[in-house]
Structure 1
């Protein structure tokens, strides 16, 4: 029904059409084929793990699940079996939940999906073709990496164009983050000594309850800032070091400074802003943070 190789082949064909449309400045055609290509590749990533991951969770999900798993379903007379699978947005969400890193910002991913939706359903979509094409290349490269698909073979005649788009997007992103750092530093420097003291006192109060592992000196003003992100296991729970300590990893997604107002959002911002992308912490300390931040656990 849904075959990984077929999905990858479809993704390749639509990618070719998308790049041809990009070169011809055909915005809607590009967005349509780029969206289909990304969706096919995302579904291939899911199918590689299990076809069941394609099921759209609705009231009639069982029939779709059984069909995807190759199990015959008996339908009432006169009714045809319907197959409902996830769309692009849900496919990306499931992949990210499974630990697949999509190398674009949250905003870039949302803009790409929106561009695809405008092209599919019509409407006055307003998006930059160059930026959207660059995000498309980065999304595809992330999926190809998960699929162990040779990107040189995939992009083929469009490889140089894909590289140019990707490198240009990364350069523009680095420049944007450098500007954020510079503006935050200038903002802090422009304050009077009293204003700085007040901000530092307030920041110290806000930081008081934060554990040491989430504190990091701001790359703009040098004051302590706060790291945040998702905790993941670095070692199996049964694997203890000699001193009995188990470890976890904080995958840093955001950084905020209470003094200069610098905010970095997303892994790409973190890398470009010279903030550590990961922090190793004792497992019990990490779990305390997880429990503290989960409202359902806190209120139970």
Structure 2
């Protein structure tokens, strides 16, 4: 009877998969309902500039209570003043999220001064942009600490409280570099691949423990943005793999959170192309990726 159960379970999974495809197509045509974040506490790291600052402002526009976290106090306070001038509520904290002790102190302050956190957006990141052999040991270590380990420290401090309440949302800002390797980004790609894998594994662990329905997980994977993090990006076909406008990315990221999307790759067309390419021998996606010449110039400081 074992094989009968296996066939039955396989058919059930097949039906679920077909339903998931149909649902995805439906929501691609029909506007998805957006959840409300009014009065919700949204904690965002790396809010001193770039994508983090825009995410903070846009969630504030939706009447969320914003917790701003950045290692650069002056820039973070500028974001705080911007939200304050919007007549919205925000709290600003200076913290190096790569340091687990500082994250522990941050969590204690937030719980004491703000209260529960509904949504965490792990956005802080760095990018040295050097050839692998020119990276110092300290640079490699710092990239992994900021881009990867910080996610661990933040989630470990805030996830337990979400589980206790039976709801929460964790967002990881990764990168298309967490899906495709790129020259002169060896340390950066490693850190972003790790984040994508971490979130995937965390989803499975929540499923195994019967808590997947309680916590929403979202991974955002944009290609290069015009934030200045990459000084001179290279792309042979900017229509397919463009240098993205950070304001546009922030809009897509906010919508992804409001619709509980598990994964968003920006631009979508690039993800589709490489997904199809990966159905073929490994040389095919590699040759395709090299054809697109999407990288950076390591000589530009």
The interval holding the TM-score normalised by the smaller chain is under 0.3
Structure with greater helix percent: 1
Using the size of structure 1 for normalisation, the TM-score is: 0.24
- Normalising by structure 2, we get a TM-score of 0.24
Structure number with greater CO (CA < 8 Å, separation at least 6) is 2
Considering only CA atoms, is the larger Rg found in Structure 1 or Structure 2?
Answer: 1
